[in-house]
Amino acid sequence: MGTGLFAHAATFRECRSIHRHSDIRFDPGLSIAPTAQRQVMMTIPVTVGKSEIHGTGVFAAHDIRNGQVLWMFTPGLDRTISDFAMEYAEPRVRQFIFERGYLNLDRKQWVICIDEAQFWNFPAKGESANSMMGNELDGEKLVIAARDIKAGEELTIPPESDGDYERKVKDRR
């Protein structure tokens, strides 16, 4: 039994060991198919720029294949904040988290992405997101490409990714 446990742990460590901008594909059985060292947050090269949807957005720097992992929570870099801490945070801190973070209803906590993902927009009204939620890793869902995405196209995140979606889009055109 001990050997099996160590083998399982080694496999898990190997699956968590992904290199930045490597060729990562979605595997429904494992969530990710790694190639080298631990991936950091956005797993594909992106740019940040003016969005036609809302303010600032995240754009694909290269073509992305359907099923490719786009983002994953990175412990130690991305931050989680409890509802309690949000309730008692200074107003300017709370406003920053409301604007740049997302609410994980399953864990009842806010998440602040330290990378470009903080500028990810929901799709325009009536359109579908070009990403979807994948399996969980480190308590947060992976974000994967829901279809092929062309270089220069804005990445959009599905509404179900954020428990605060309704408030965020309430005043948008």
How, if at all, do strands 140-145 and 79-82 pair?
unpaired
pLDDT score, position 19: 35
The top-scoring range by mean pLDDT among 38-52, 97-111, 116-130 is 116-130
pLDDT digits (tens, 9 = 90+) for 89-101: 999 999 998 888 8
CATH number belonging to the domain at 40-165, selected among 2.170.270.10, 2.30.30.140, 2.40.170.20, 2.40.50.140: 2.170.270.10
What CA–CA distance (Å, rounded) separates 13 from 16? 5
What CA–CA distance (Å, rounded) separates 163 from 161? 7
pLDDT above 80: residue 11: no
What CA–CA distance (Å, rounded) separates 134 from 26? 8
Degrees, nearest 5: CA angle 132-137-143:
20
What CA–CA distance (Å, rounded) separates 46 from 119? 11
pLDDT above 80: residue 17: no
Pairwise pLDDT comparison (127 vs 25), residue with the higher score = 127
What CA–CA distance (Å, rounded) separates 39 from 144? 14
pLDDT above 80: residue 132: yes
Q: Is the pTM of this model over 0.75?
A: no
pLDDT band for 35, please (50, 70, 90 cuts). very low
